[in-house]
Amino acid sequence: MQTLLARYDHLAAWLASRVPEGLALLLTRVALAGIFWRSGRTKVEDGSLLSISDQAYFLFEYEYPGLPIPPTIATPMATYAEHLFPILLVLGIFSRFSALSLLIMTLVIQIFVFPEAWWQKHILWVAMATILVSRGGGLFSLDALLASRRAS
C-alpha cells in the first residue's frame, strides 16, 4: 500500500509540473477560444472577415432585448470581442485579460440573454475562463515567452 501511495504522489507531482500544466492550459485556451470564435463567425457576412451581418443586428435588437446597451453598440462589441479575444487566447498573449473579457461576456450572456443555460453551457465557460484568469496562459504561450525575456 505504501508503494502505491508513493507512486500516486510521484504521478501527482509530475502532473502538477510545468509541462503537463502547460498542455492543460493550452487545451483550455483553445477550447474556450473555439466556443467564442465560432459564435463570432455566425455574426459576420459569409465570405467576409469582419463585415457584420444584418441578421446579427436583428438578433441583438429583437432576440436579445434585455441587454443593458443598445443593439447598435452591443452587436459590433460582441462580434469584435468574439474574434479578437479567441485569437489572443490561442496565441497565448494577454491570456488573463482575454479570459477575463470572455468571462465577463459569458456573465452578460448568462444574465441578460440565456439565463436558462447555466448548467448546460455557461458554467463550463466560466470554469475555463476562471482557470485561465488565475493561472495564465501557461508554458506554451507567448505570455510565458515574453515573461522569460523580461526576466533575462
Give Cβ neighbours of residue 34 (< 8 Å, ≥ 6 apart).
86
Q: How far apart are CA 72 and CA 56, in angstroms?
A: 10
pTM of the predicted protein model = 0.92
pLDDT of residue 151: 85
Statement: residue 121 has pLDDT above 90: yes
92: DSSP letter: T
Q: Which domain holds residue 112?
A: 24-43+78-151
pLDDT in tens, 38-58: 999 999 999 999 999 999 999
Query: How far is Cα 43 from Cα 72, in angstroms, rounded to an integer?
Result: 13
Query: Around 135, how many Cα atoms within 13 Å sit in the side-chain half-sphere?
Result: 22
In a domain, 1, yes or no: no
Residues contacting residue 104 through CB under 8 Å, at least 6 positions apart: none
Give the Cα separation of 64 and 128 in Å (integer): 25
Is 51 within the bounds of a domain?
no
The runs of H, that is alpha helices, within the chain are 2-15, 18-41, 54-58, 71-91, 95-108, 123-135, 142-151
Look at residue 6 and tell me if it is in a domain.
no
Asked whether residue 71 is assigned to any structural domain, the reply reads: no
Q: Is the pLDDT of residue 74 over 80?
A: yes
Distance CA 123, CA 73 (A): 26
Q: Among the listed ranges 86-95, 116-125, 129-138, 143-152, which one has the minimum average pLDDT value?
A: 143-152
Q: Strand (E) positions, 65-131? A: none
Is 64 contained in some domain?
no
Is 69 part of a structural domain of the chain? no
Name the domain count of the chain. 1
Q: Determine, yes or no, domain membership for 15.
A: no
- Residue 63 is assigned to a structural domain of this protein: no
